[in-house]
C-alpha cells in the first residue's frame, strides 16, 4: 500500500472518530439540558405592546430558573423575573412554586420623556405653563411628560410671553434654551409743582413732566425740587402693565410746633388727633392746623396756627379752673361725703371743681345713697334724696321668691299680729296649746316644700338610703336639722344663724340672715293666717270635713297600719309621698299639713304666757331637753293632730318628722319708717 493510501486511511479514521465525538457530544447535551428541561415546568411570557415585544429581554433575577427567549424554565420554588425594553419601564414578575402557569402576560408601560428648559437670560420668577396649566414658577423647568406633542408657554413679567410646541419621545430627554423677547413700555411722569428733576435708577433724565420709553423691569424714581421735599418711588413695567403713569404732589419741607402746657396731665389734640407725646412735633408747612388742650375741672382752650417750611412754632396753654355749684338736700338730714371725705350735713350748697366726684349721703340705720357727680359752670346741680331704711331698701330690691343653691324655692312673707294656740272649748284642744298674742315684725323667706332626701344628702349621707329622693327627709334630729341650716347658709354666703361648739348647739345669732328652722309662732302663722282673711282652725279652713286632696294623712289606705284613720278619705298614699304631691295651701306652701310633721326652732315648754302680754318675734324657752314638732303627718287620723294649733315635744328623729327652712330678709332690728 502506497504512502498516499496509508495517509488516506488515517484521515478516514480521524474523520470517523470526529463524527463519533460530535454525535456523542450532541447526545450528552440532549441528555444534560433538553431532557431535564422537558422534565421541568416551562412558562411562556407574552409581552405587549407588540413594539416592545420585538425588542424586549427576559432575565431571571431570583431563584433556580433559565430564560431562553420568551420562555422561562424553573426547577423548584419561587422565582423573580424582569422584562426590559428600550423606551419602556421595566416590569418585575413573581412566580411562586405553587402558582406556576404555562402562560403569563406582561404589558410594559411607556417610559416618560423628560423636558428640561431654561431661558437664555437666566431669569428668576419665570412662570412655565404646560398644556395651559402652571408647571413651575422658577428659573428652570424639569418635568416628566408622556410621549407626544405638548404646548409650552413661558411668561416672565418683564419680557414678552412665548409659546411653542415641544415634541417628547418616550425615555428620552429634551433640552431647551429659550431666548425671550424684551418688551417695551412707557413711563409718564408729572408733578405739582412741575419742574422737578427726575432721576431714574440714579441717573438724571430731565424734569417733570416727562415721558420715557422703557424696557420691562423694576425702576427707582427720585424727584428733587428746590421748594419741596424730595420724593422717592419704585415702579415696574410689565407685560401686563405696559404703561405706568404717576402724578406726584410734592410736599413742602416740614415745619415744627412745640407746647407749654399748664396744668400738666391734660389731653392735647392736634387736628382732632390725640397726641401721646407733648414734645416738638413735625407738621405740614403752609397749612392751617388746630390744636386743643383739655383737662377735667378746667375750661378747654383751642388755637389755630400756620407755619412756614423749616419754621418752629411755640404755643402756650394756661387753662382756667371751672367750678360748678352743687346743692344737696336729704330726708332725713344726713352726712355728705365727697370722695370719701365728709364735707358737712344736708342741706349743703358749695362750689366744686368740674371734675367727676364720688358722692355719698349716709345716716346710721339707712341705706347710703351713692352716685357720681360732675359739676358744671353752666348751671347749678341739685340733688334731693329721700333715704330708705335698710329694710325698705331690701324689700325694694329683693324678689318675691327665689331658688337657692340647693334647688329650694323660697317665698317672701310679711308676718303680722295674730293669736296662736287654741281656746279650751275647741274640739280636740290639748292643755299645752296656750293662747298667746303674737306680733311678728320681720319679713321672712320660707321654703315652699319640706327638705327632701336629695337636698339633705348634699350635706350628710343618709343610711339606709331612702327609695325615693323626692321624699321629705325623716329620722333627722333637731341638731342635724340646725346643722343643715348652717351648711346651707355657707353655700349661699349668708351669715349662719345657729352657734355650735364641738357639734353641740349653744345658741343662735338672731340678727343673722342665714337659714334656720321656723319658730313655732312663725310656723303657726304660716299654717293658719298667711294668705287667709282670718286665723283658721285647720290649714284648709274651719270645716271639720277634710276637702279632697288636702294632704297625706292616715286615710282609708292606711287602715290596719295606724291606730286611727280618717273614714271616707283617700289620698292615694298609705305612707310617705313625694314633696309637692298635693296642691299648695292658701299661702302657696306645700305639705304644711300632712306627709310629715315638722321641727320648729322652739324648745318644748309647758310654761303658760303672762296675761295681757304681746310677744314680739318669740323664739321660745331657752331651756328644755326636747323641741316642738308642729303639723300633722301621714300617721295622723285624729281631730287633735289635724288642727294647726297642735304641738308636741320630741327629743329625737322620727319616721314621720321632717322640716322646712326659713330665713330673715334682714336679721337686724331696723325701723320701717
User: In this predicted structure, what is the pLDDT of residue 468?
Assistant: 92
Domain termination site, one of 263, 295, 318: 318
Q: Which of 171, 184, 193, 176 is nearest to 86 (CA)?
A: 171
Shared-domain flag, residues 298 and 358: no
Q: Is residue 211 part of a domain?
A: yes
Give a yes or no: residue 14 inside a domain.
yes
Whether 566 is covered by a domain: the verdict is no
**CA atoms within 13 Å, Cβ hemisphere of 202:** 0
Please tell me the distance from the alpha carbon of residue 24 to that of residue 30, in angstroms, as a whole number.
10
d(CA 497, CA 601) in angstroms, rounded, equals 11
Half-sphere exposure of 401 (CA within 13 A, CB side): 13
Q: Could you give the CA distance from residue 129 to residue 144 in angstroms, rounded to a whole number?
A: 14
Residue 280 lies in a domain: yes
Per-10-residue mean pLDDT of the chain, 673 residues long, equals 61 68 56 47 82 84 82 79 85 74 82 90 87 91 91 92 92 91 93 92 92 92 88 93 93 88 92 85 89 92 91 92 93 94 94 93 92 92 91 82 96 96 94 96 96 96 88 96 97 96 92 96 98 96 94 91 91 94 97 97 94 95 94 95 97 96 81 41
The CATH number assigned to the domain holding 151 equals: 2.60.40.1120
| Domain shared by 16 and 49, yes or no | no
88 and 124 co-located in one domain: no
What confidence score (pLDDT) does residue 489 get? 97
Q: How many CB atoms lie within 10 A of CB 603?
A: 18
348-353: strand order across its sheet: 348-353, 323-331, 381-386
pLDDT of the residue at 237: 93
**Same domain (yes/no): 288, 309:** yes
Centre a 10 Å sphere on the Cβ of residue 283 and count the other Cβ atoms it contains: 19
Q: Is residue 504 part of a domain?
A: no
Q: Residue 358, CB half-sphere, CA atoms under 13 Å: how many?
A: 5
Question: Looking at the structure, do residues 238 and 263 belong to the same domain, yes or no?
Answer: no
Number of structural domains (the chain) is 6
Q: Which run of H or E residues covers position 237?
A: strand 231-237
Residue 31 gets which letter from DSSP?
I
**Which residue range(s) make up the domain with 63?**
40-109
Label residue 14 exposed, middle or buried (CB < 10 Å: 0-12, 13-18, 19+): exposed
**Final residue before a domain boundary, out of 294, 318, 342:** 318
Same domain, 228 and 276: no
Task: Report residue 545 CA to chain centroid gap.
Answer: 60
| Cell representation of residue 189 | 411722569
> Is residue 331 in some structural domain?
yes
Q: Which of 149, 123, 121 is nearest to 136 (CA)?
A: 123
Q: Is residue 60, in this structure, part of any structural domain at all?
A: yes
- Of 342, 362, 387, the residue that ends a domain is 387
Grid cell listed for 14: 480521524
Residues 6+ apart with CB under 8 A from 576: 468, 471, 472, 474, 552, 595, 596, 634
Does 133 reside within a domain? yes
Q: How many Cα atoms occupy the beta-carbon half-sphere of 341 within 13 Å?
A: 3
Q: How far apart are the first and last CA of the chain?
A: 176
Q: Which CATH number characterizes residue 348's domain?
A: 2.60.40
Q: Give residue 24's pLDDT.
A: 59
pTM to 2 decimal places: 0.51
Establish how many alpha carbons lie within 13 A of residue 209's alpha carbon, considering only the half-sphere containing its beta carbon. 6
Amino acid at each position: 500500500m502506497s504512502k498516499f493510501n496509508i495517509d488516506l486511511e488515517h484521515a478516514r479514521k480521524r474523520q470517523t472518530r470526529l463524527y463519533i465525538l460530535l454525535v456523542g457530544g450532541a447526545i450528552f447535551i440532549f441528555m444534560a439540558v433538553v431532557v431535564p428541561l422537558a422534565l421541568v415546568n416551562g412558562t411562556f411570557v407574552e409581552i405587549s405592546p407588540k413594539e416592545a415585544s420585538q425588542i424586549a429581554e427576559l432575565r431571571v433575577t431570583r431563584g433556580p430558573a433559565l430564560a431562553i427567549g420568551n420562555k422561562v424554565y424553573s426547577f423548584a420554588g419561587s422565582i423573580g423575573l424582569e422584562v426590559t425594553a428600550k423606551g419602556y419601564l421595566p416590569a418585575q414578575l413573581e412566580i411562586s412554586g405553587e402558582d406556576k402557569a404555562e402562560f403569563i402576560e406582561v404589558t410594559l408601560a411607556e417610559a416618560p420623556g423628560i423636558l428640561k428648559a431654561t431661558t437664555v437670560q437666566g431669569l428668576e420668577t419665570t412662570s412655565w405653563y404646560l398644556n395651559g396649566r402652571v408647571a413651575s414658577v422658577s428659573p428652570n423647568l424639569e418635568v416628566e411628560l408622556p410621549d407626544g406633542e405638548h404646548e409650552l408657554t413661558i411668561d416672565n413679567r418683564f419680557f414678552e410671553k412665548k409659546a411653542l410646541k415641544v415634541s417628547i419621545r418616550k425615555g428620552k430627554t429634551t433640552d431647551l434654551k429659550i431666548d425671550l423677547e424684551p418688551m417695551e413700555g412707557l413711563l409718564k411722569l408729572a408733578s405739582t409743582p412741575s419742574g422737578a428733576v427726575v432721576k431714574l435708577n440714579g441717573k438724571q433724565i430731565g424734569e417733570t413732566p416727562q415721558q420715557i420709553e422703557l424696557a420691562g423691569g423694576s425702576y427707582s424714581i427720585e424727584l428733587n425740587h428746590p421748594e419741596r421735599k424730595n420724593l422717592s418711588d419704585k415702579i415696574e413695567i410689565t407685560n401686563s402693565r405696559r404703561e405706568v403713569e404717576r402724578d406726584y404732589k410734592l410736599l413742602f419741607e416740614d415745619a415744627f410746633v412745640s407746647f407749654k402746657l399748664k396744668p400738666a396731665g391734660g389731653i392735647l389734640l392736634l387736628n382732632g388727633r390725640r397726641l401721646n407725646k407733648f414734645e416738638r412735633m413735625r407738621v405740614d408747612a403752609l397749612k392751617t392746623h388746630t390744636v386743643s388742650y383739655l383737662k377735667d375741672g378746667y375750661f378747654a382752650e383751642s388755637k389755630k396756627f400756620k407755619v412756614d417750611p423749616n419754621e418752629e412754632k411755640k404755643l402756650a396753654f394756661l387753662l382756667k379752673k371751672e367750678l360748678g355749684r352743687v346743692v344737696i338736700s336729704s330726708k332725713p338730714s344726713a352726712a355728705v361725703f365727697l370722695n370719701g371725705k365728709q364735707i358737712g350735713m344736708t342741706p349743703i350748697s358749695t362750689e366744686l371743681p368740674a371734675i367727676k366726684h364720688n358722692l355719698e349721703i349716709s345716716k346710721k340705720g339707712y341705706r347710703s345713697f351713692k352716685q357720681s357727680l360732675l359739676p358744671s359752670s353752666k348751671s347749678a346741680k341739685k340733688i334731693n334724696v329721700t333715704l330708705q331704711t335698710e329694710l325698705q331698701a331690701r324689700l325694694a330690691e329683693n324678689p318675691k321668691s327665689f331658688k337657692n343653691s340647693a334647688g329650694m324655692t323660697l317665698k317672701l312673707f310679711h308676718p303680722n299680729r295674730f293669736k296662736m294656740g287654741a281656746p279650751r272649748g275647741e274640739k280636740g284642744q290639748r292643755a299645752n296649746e296656750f293662747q298667746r298674742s303674737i306680733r311678728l315684725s320681720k319679713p321672712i323667706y320660707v321654703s315652699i316644700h319640706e327638705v327632701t332626701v336629695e337636698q339633705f344628702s348634699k350635706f350628710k349621707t343618709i343610711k339606709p338610703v331612702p327609695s325615693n329622693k323626692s321624699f321629705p327627709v325623716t329620722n333627722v334630729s333637731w341638731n342635724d336639722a340646725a346643722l343643715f341650716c348652717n351648711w346651707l347658709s355657707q353655700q349661699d354666703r349668708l351669715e349662719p344663724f345657729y352657734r355650735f361648739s364641738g357639734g353641740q348647739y349653744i345658741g343662735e345669732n338672731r340678727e343673722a340672715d342665714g337659714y334656720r328652722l321656723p319658730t313655732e309662732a312663725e310656723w303657726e302663722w304660716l299654717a293658719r293666717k298667711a294668705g287667709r282673711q282670718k286665723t283658721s282652725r285647720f290649714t284648709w279652713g274651719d270645716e271639720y270635713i277634710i276637702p279632697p286632696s288636702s294632704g297625706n294623712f292616715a286615710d282609708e289606705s292606711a287602715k290596719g297600719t295606724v291606730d286611727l284613720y280618717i273614714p271616707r278619705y283617700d289620698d292615694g298614699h298609705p305612707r310617705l309621698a313625694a314633696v309637692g304631691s298635693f296642691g299648695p295651701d292658701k299661702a302657696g306652701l306645700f305639705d304644711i299639713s300632712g306627709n310629715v310633721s315638722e321641727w320648729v326652732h322652739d324648745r318644748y315648754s309647758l310654761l303658760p304666757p303672762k296675761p295681757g302680754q304681746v310677744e314680739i318675734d318669740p323664739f321660745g324657752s331657752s331651756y328644755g331637753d326636747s323641741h316642738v314638732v308642729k303639723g300633722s303627718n301621714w300617721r295622723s287620723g285624729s281631730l287633735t293632730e289635724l288642727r294647726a294649733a297642735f304641738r308636741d315635744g320630741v327629743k329625737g328623729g322620727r319616721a314621720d318628722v321632717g322640716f322646712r327652712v326659713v330665713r330673715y330678709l334682714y336679721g337686724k332690728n331696723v325701723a320701717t319708717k
